[in-house]
Amino acid sequence: MLLLFLLFLVAATSSPASGEGEAEPVVNDFSHVCNSTDGPPQLYLPNSTFAANLAAMSATLPRNASATGFSAGAFGRAPDTAYGLGLCRGDIPGDRCAACLAMAFNGAPDLCRDSKDVIIFYDQCHVRFYDRDFLAGARNAPKKVAHNMNNVSAWNVAEFDGLVTRLANAVADKASNASTKYATGQAGFAPEKINLFGLAQCTPDLTAAQCRSCLAGIIGEIPKSLSGRLGGRILGVRCNYRYEKDTFFHTTTDDMVTLAPLLSSSTGSKNTLWIVAIAVPVAVLLCGFLACFLWIRTRRRRVANLSGRVGIPTMSMEMEQVLKLWKIEESDSEFSLYDFDQIADATGNFSDDCKLGQGGFGAVYMGELSGGIEVAIKRLSTGSVQGLMEFKTEIQLIAKLQHTNLVRLLGCCLQAEEKMLIYEYMHNKSLDCFIFDSTRGAILNWERRFTIIDGIAQGLLYMHKHSRLRVVHRDLKASNILLDRDMNPKISDFGLARIFCSNTTEANTTRVMGTHGYIAPEYASEGLFSIKSDVYSFGVLLLEIISGKRTPGFYQHGKFCNLTGYAYRLWKEGKWHEMVDQVIGTGYPVTEVMKWVQVALLCVQDSAEDRPNMSDVVAMLGSEGLTLPEPRQPAYFNVRMSSFPESTGSFTESPYSYISNVVLTDGR
Ligand SMILES: *[C@@H]1O[C@H](CO)[C@@H](O)[C@H](O)[C@H]1NC(C)=O
Ligand SMILES: *[C@@H]1O[C@H](CO)[C@@H](O)[C@H](O)[C@H]1NC(C)=O
Ligand SMILES: *[C@@H]1O[C@H](CO)[C@@H](O)[C@H](O)[C@H]1NC(C)=O
Ligand SMILES: *[C@@H]1O[C@H](CO)[C@@H](O)[C@H](O)[C@H]1NC(C)=O
Ligand SMILES: *[C@@H]1O[C@H](CO)[C@@H](O)[C@H](O)[C@H]1NC(C)=O
């Protein structure tokens, strides 16, 4: 009893100290190694043959890996051959595997500044590419080590390290004998009443002997690199091992190697001696700490209860580590991490009064932070399948997208299941509130409409071309165009498709994100999206801005059930002016608006190849007297009311239906 009490004291007082361990990074930066060899980094040029080979690899490996979780290959001819491999953790299903690998490939140019020598580690997969043939051998370098910031008690370190190594060897044996080259295991550590979980994996192309020897190399580093750590991983190209004191993989217990507890009486008595020797002199001191600790805790509880909150969701160890690492990285940037408390306060505990709307990705709230800063808070639907490291990488990438015509991401808040994004607040809501409303529509005169059209085009052009990421929006629509105080347009929800990943394979996507009426035909039918599917949505949006008519539910005018078909017919018959919005009077800049109609029709052409890209669109909108091509038939032209599906069936807006991918070719 006394022992337990003393142990508790030690635990209670040591945790605040470890919580402030600023000096030591919480998790080593294990997410990537950009150039592993000595000498100057080998970089490739964006339009080089190597870049093209790499693009081919990025398209192929994720798709091929969705069958077995592994894929490798050489792409292109010497001297520009790109060698690469992608491996997913053994418990990750095919579609998520492909999503994870695609994300790693897409993030590489940004993380590694166009290096030819890259390895990127995520929780659920890793990707390696190089301009030299590393596939022939079984070399495991470059490697990364990461560890949990918490240690076992000092007097248990030796015994603990022994157990970690024993577990690792048992799991490694099983993994190397398995055809999948993947295995997991568990072992109890009685002195601290914890259960350790371990996971070993090799690329399945290795032989059992190669795999075991690769893992042996890693296990040999455990005593040196991970001594006493309550969790850690050693990651390499060919094999990796990870252990934690909580489960971090999906396996049923009977798949796991389970180590029998090691009974040793000698360590028990030694421990008792140690505890008495250490604990007695400091017990008095610790009592003081304990009193302080308990007092703060009860006080905190009382405050929480007073404010009527059900309770702040608790964080997992992994989340704490990720946040910590993040705080260090972001300390000098404009991106902030917000506390759950702060956001709950700002939104009146997510009261309905503060709710601005409900989108496909989750509810949006208006909030006022202390200091009077107004923000919009997007509370992402829970169940995003992404691991935390992946989420963090994505958010950092999205935060880097900054343009006057994109809504700015100010920060985010992570707490247990809660994932929230904090954006700048837009005072005039969204474009659909204006253009589809006969009274408010009048506020948007033609000059303002042009500013809006041009702004959206500039924002998209930036996303497609000028940002390093080359993001495809995939759900561009009037309600995703927000307006600031001066009615300047800002695109929102960009990049979110990357977060909600479930299905990357470009060709075989059965579920499509996007909104009925705005989806390009090749995306709706084959799941193929590209910058040209965004161009299609832009064209539809442009027609809406010109006509003041909503695309979905456009049922007037006889047999035409969609705005694109209607507009095209009027254009062909030379009566395009019939579609121009009348709420702002009949006097309008005829040549200008006629040009917009023509550009819009060029954007919604059936064939993606015929559609212009956004640089063309910006050029066409900005020029005078340029002869534009004659638009061809738009998509869905022959779709009649009777044959158009009533329900939006496959066009679900559920966040689980999003595909995570970014198209690297920009279609020029
Ligand atoms: C864990 O142990 C390492 C040395 O093995 C030490 O540097 C580190 O500060 C310890 N961490 C905590 C939280 O005590
Ligand atoms: C590549 O590695 C060298 C040292 O080997 C380092 O000086 C350089 O900054 C690295 N470059 C990149 C892009 O990481
Ligand atoms: C593309 O490659 C050519 C040489 O083949 C080079 O002159 C040009 O600067 C490159 N363009 C870009 C954008 O890198
Ligand atoms: C990918 O899969 C296709 C079809 O199964 C196959 O032809 C191709 O060789 C594979 N490529 C790699 C690099 O594994
Ligand atoms: C697995 O392989 C190891 C050697 O790598 C061997 O000692 C062990 O007996 C094998 N276990 C099984 C179940 O085949």
Full strand arrangement of the beta sheet holding 362-368: 336-337, 409-415, 418-424, 374-380, 362-368, 355-359
Using CA positions, which residue lies closest to atom 13 of ligand 5? 174
Q: How many CA atoms lie within 13 A of 200 on its CB side?
A: 31
- Of all residues in the chain, the percent with pLDDT exceeding 90 is 34
What is the predicted pLDDT for the residue at 505? 28
**What gap in Å lies between CA 60 and CA 82, rounded to an integer?**
12
Is the pLDDT confidence value at 119 over 70?
yes
- Ligand 3 pocket residue status of 263, Cβ below 6 Å: no
What is the predicted pLDDT for the residue at 335? 80
Is the pLDDT confidence value at 330 over 80?
no
Ligand closest in space to the Cα of 172: 5
Please report which confidence band the pLDDT of residue 595 belongs to, taking 50, 70 and 90 as the band edges: very high
Distance of CA 165 to the CA centre of its chain: 34
Please report which confidence band the pLDDT of residue 612 belongs to, taking 50, 70 and 90 as the band edges: very high
Average pLDDT, integer, range 228-243: 94
DSSP 70-116: EEEEEES-TTS-EEEEEEE-TTS-HHHHHHHHHHHHHHHHHHHTTBS
Fold for the domain defined by 2-130: Killer Toxin P4; Chain A (3.30.430)
**Which sequence spans correspond to the domains of the chain?**
2-130, 144-262, 317-424, 432-664
Using the mean position of ligand 1's atoms as its centre, give its distance from the Cα of residue 344 in Å. 34
Q: 317-424 and 432-664: same fold?
A: no
**Which is the closest atom of ligand 5 to the Cα of 209?**
5
The set of residues, in sequence order, having a beta carbon less than 8 Å from that of 405 and lying 6+ positions away, is 455, 456, 458, 459, 462, 488, 489, 490, 491
Q: Which of 97, 89, 94, 120 is nearest to 107 (CA)?
A: 120
- Of all residues in the chain, the percent with pLDDT exceeding 70 is 74
**What gap in Å lies between CA 435 and CA 443, rounded to an integer?**
9
Is residue 352 part of the annotated active site? The answer reads no
What is the predicted pLDDT for the residue at 507? 28
The vertex-400 CA angle with 397 and 403, nearest 5°, equals 135
Highest mean pLDDT out of 333-347, 420-434, 496-510: 420-434
pLDDT digits (tens, 9 = 90+) for 389-409: 777 777 877 888 889 999 999
pTM of the model: 0.48
Class of the 317-424 domain?
Answer: alpha beta
**Which is the closest atom of ligand 1 to the Cα of 149?**
13
pLDDT digits (tens, 9 = 90+) for 370-388: 888 899 998 887 655 466 7
- Ligand 3 pocket residue status of 668, Cβ below 6 Å: no
Q: Where are the beta strands (DSSP E) in 1-160?
A: 32-33, 70-75, 82-88, 118-121, 125-130, 144-147
pLDDT digits (tens, 9 = 90+) for 474-485: 889 998 999 998
Average pLDDT, integer, range 435-448: 87
DSSP 185-200: EEEEEGGGTEEEEEEE
What is the predicted pLDDT for the residue at 465? 85
- Ligand 1 pocket residue status of 16, Cβ below 6 Å: no
For residue 400, say whether it is annotated as part of any ligand binding site: no
Average pLDDT, integer, range 113-141: 91
Using the mean position of ligand 3's atoms as its centre, give its distance from the Cα of residue 344 in Å. 51
What is the predicted pLDDT for the residue at 122? 85
Q: Are 342 and 635 in contact (CB under 8 A)?
A: no
Is the pLDDT confidence value at 510 over 80?
no
Choosing from 53, 60, 63, 129 the residue with most ligand 4 atoms within 8 A of its CB, the one to mutate for a pocket test is: 60
Q: Are 199 and 89 in contact (CB under 8 A)?
A: yes
Active-site residue (options: 117, 475, 581, 606): 475
Average pLDDT, integer, range 288-306: 47
Question: Cα dist. 579→449, 571, 595 in Å?
Answer: 15, 10, 14
CATH of the structural domain 144-262, one choice from 3.40.50.1970, 3.40.50.720, 3.40.50.2000, 3.30.430.20: 3.30.430.20
- Ligand 1 pocket residue status of 357, Cβ below 6 Å: no
Higher pLDDT, 97 or 36: 97
What is the predicted pLDDT for the residue at 26? 28
Higher pLDDT, 646 or 125: 125
- Ligand 5 pocket residue status of 177, Cβ below 6 Å: yes
pLDDT digits (tens, 9 = 90+) for 138-185: 999 888 888 887 888 888 899 999 999 999 999 999 999 999 999 999
DSSP 229: B
Please report which confidence band the pLDDT of residue 40 belongs to, taking 50, 70 and 90 as the band edges: confident
Highest mean pLDDT out of 168-182, 261-275, 337-351, 427-441: 168-182
- Ligand 2 pocket residue status of 115, Cβ below 6 Å: yes
Asked: is 432-664 a CATH 3.40.1190.20 domain? The reply is no
Give me 139's structure tokens: 């070399």
Mean pLDDT over all residues of the chain? 77
**Which is the closest atom of ligand 4 to the Cα of 74?**
13
What is the predicted pLDDT for the residue at 213? 95
